[in-house]
A = this chain, B = another copy of it.
C-alpha cells in the first residue's frame, strides 16, 4: 500500500458534533464543536477545544463552567447555525428556538431539545495556540426521558450527528452496526 505524506494536518474520522454552551455577559450562548470528547473516567471529565476569538470562549473564561449538549439529527440545521453565527451579533437561542434550562452549576445553559446535556466545571485550561483546551469535570448529566429504553440511554433514540471534514464538510447520521465492542476481537485471541 502506497502512503502519501501530507504534512502536519488534523485528520481524525469521525468526530462528534456537539453544542457547547456558556453564559456570556449573563446571556446563554452556544457554539458547534467537533473538537471535543471524554478525557477521564474517574472523575468523569470532558475536554473541548475553543478558538480563542470565539464569543463562547469569553463566557467559559468568565464563569469557569460550560455545558456540552448532544444534538440529534433533527437539529442539524440549528446545530450548523450555531457554528456559522456569532453570539456577539445574534441571539442564537432565539434564532434556534432553543428552550434553555439550568442545572446545579447555574451558569452552564442546557438545551432542552438536545437528548443529552452535561454540566461541566473547568478544572484545567491549556493554551495551545489558536485554541484553548478547556478540561471540565462533569458535575451532572441530564437525559431526555424519551431517549431511554428500560432506563438506559439508547443511541438509536438519540440519533447523534457525526462530523466529517473530507472530502466535503458534512454532517452524517450513524449507519450499520459493525460488531460488539470487547467481543468481536476475541476471534483473534
Contacts and interface: CB of A to CB of B under 8 A. Distances in A.
Contacts of A25: none
Contacts of A152: 166-167
Nearest to A85: B189
B8 A141 contact: yes
A175 B177 contact: no
A24 interface: no
A172 B182 contact: no
B13 A160 contact: yes
B182 A80 contact: yes
Contacts of A172: 174-178
Interface of A: 1-16, 18, 34-47, 49, 51, 68, 70, 73, 76-85, 95-96, 99, 101, 103, 112-113, 116-118, 124, 126, 128-131, 133, 135, 137-146, 148-149, 152-156, 158, 160-164, 166-189
